[in-house]
Amino acid sequence: MVVALIGATGLVGEVMMRVLEERKLELTGFIPCASERSVGRELVFRGKTYTVAGVEQALTASPGIAIFSAGASTSLRYARAFAERGWFVIDNSSAWRGDPEVPLVVPEVNAASLRASAKIIANPNCSTIQLVVALAPIHRTYGIKRLVISTYQSVTGTGAKAVAQLQNERQGKQGEMAYPYPIDLNCFPHGGAFLDNAYTAEEMKLVTETRKILNAPDLQITATVVRIPVLGGHSEAVNIELKNDFVLADILELLEKAEGVVVRDDPAGNIYPMPKYAEGKDEVFVGRIRRDVSVPFGMDMWIVADNLRKGAATNAVQIAEHIMKRGWVSSM
């Protein structure tokens, strides 16, 4: 099986390569692609040196799986061309997430939505992925009526330019600004462009994508996205109002058995999820699980995950693994 990685030289692309190496997919070819300014650059993957190609060059290869991590404009320009040539496209941008014909997939939650005829598959937003991994077992058992979400998002979600801004500020250096304000020793409630409804694009992604993945179009959701000066991952404070009453011990048992979830919940021992310890891991960490004392069927939890891994690269590679297991693309 051939894998083409479009956006191989970017921050997420580098993590994609690392995850592909770790998970040991059986590949017959690997084609790293990037923009024209990076074409010709050399990358090492699984001990072999590859030369970065242009996207057009990859289109001439034998079809396999193309993982796009180069922004919505690139995906809109090329994804259909790859699909028409027989490639499965796993797209990490926002380009196709709202398309009703394109599966929006988190394998632990809705792998069943994958189908051989749907050649373009959307990878959800990083904050949405960790949210639904934790919420899906609860929603299936009790039904979720309403969600109130506050995110505390790593600068890595913005990209290398934002990481450089944080590092420069900590070292007292002047440099290019990814944000309109300093991020070190600061936080601001701004993720994505502000929309006409006064929410940001990142906040509305949490609303629309969560509804689509959970197949819950009427689920009431509100969200506030906050950028904070950390590198390890995104955190979310989530207030959940259920449709039915629950026993907290049963919720804990559901989460402990859920695929991809690690429960870290021991307040007496100061044990709870933190981005510092989620960094470099593929699991979604959940803690501070407690009953909401303000409503009858309410509860609160704290969800943390590495946004570059499970929030992007690992989720995409897991989708590729499902495609291979189903025999839609042959492997050796």
Residue 102 lies in a domain: yes
What does the CA dihedral 95, 98, 102, 108 come to, rounded to 10 degrees? 100
The tens digit of pLDDT for each residue in 172-220 reads: 999 999 999 999 999 999 999 999 999 999 999 999 999 999 999 999 9
Residue 330 lies in a domain: no
> Do 279 and 181 share a domain, yes or no?
yes
> Do 100 and 209 share a domain, yes or no?
no
- CATH code where residue 104 lies: 3.40.50.720
Q: Which of 282, 261, 232 is nearest to 19 (CA)?
A: 282
Q: Which of 47, 59, 60 is nearest to 68 (CA)?
A: 59
End-to-end alpha-carbon separation of the chain, Å? 7
**pLDDT beneath 70: ranges in the chain:** 330-332
pLDDT, residue 332, reads 34
pLDDT, residue 129, reads 98
3-state secondary structure of 57: helix
> Do 157 and 75 share a domain, yes or no?
no
> Do 106 and 137 share a domain, yes or no?
no
* The residue to which tokens 């196709």 are assigned: 96
Residue 67 lies in a domain: yes
- Give pairs for 92-98: CB < 8 Å, separation 24+: 92/7, 92/12, 92/67, 92/68, 92/123, 92/312, 92/316, 93/68, 93/69, 94/125, 94/201, 94/205, 95/122, 96/120, 96/122, 97/122, 97/124, 97/125, 97/205, 97/208, 97/209, 97/212, 98/208, 98/212
Q: Domain of 117?
A: 2-124+312-325
> Do 119 and 137 share a domain, yes or no?
no
pLDDT, residue 113, reads 97
Per DSSP, helices labelled H in the chain are: 11-23, 55-58, 72-84, 107-110, 126-142, 160-170, 201-213, 248-257, 275-278, 314-325
Q: Which are the catalytic amino acids?
A: 126, 234
pLDDT, residue 330, reads 55
The pTM for the full model equals: 0.96
> Do 120 and 131 share a domain, yes or no?
no
> Do 132 and 243 share a domain, yes or no?
yes
Q: Residue 60 — φ and ψ, nearest 5°? A: -85, -10
Strand-strand pairing, 42-45 and 48-51: antiparallel
> Do 101 and 206 share a domain, yes or no?
no
3-state secondary structure of 164: helix
The token pair that represents 108 in the structure block: 């632990």
Look up residue 277 and give its amino acid: Y
pLDDT, residue 115, reads 96
What is the DSSP secondary structure assignment for residue 125, as one 8-state letter? P
> Do 223 and 255 share a domain, yes or no?
yes
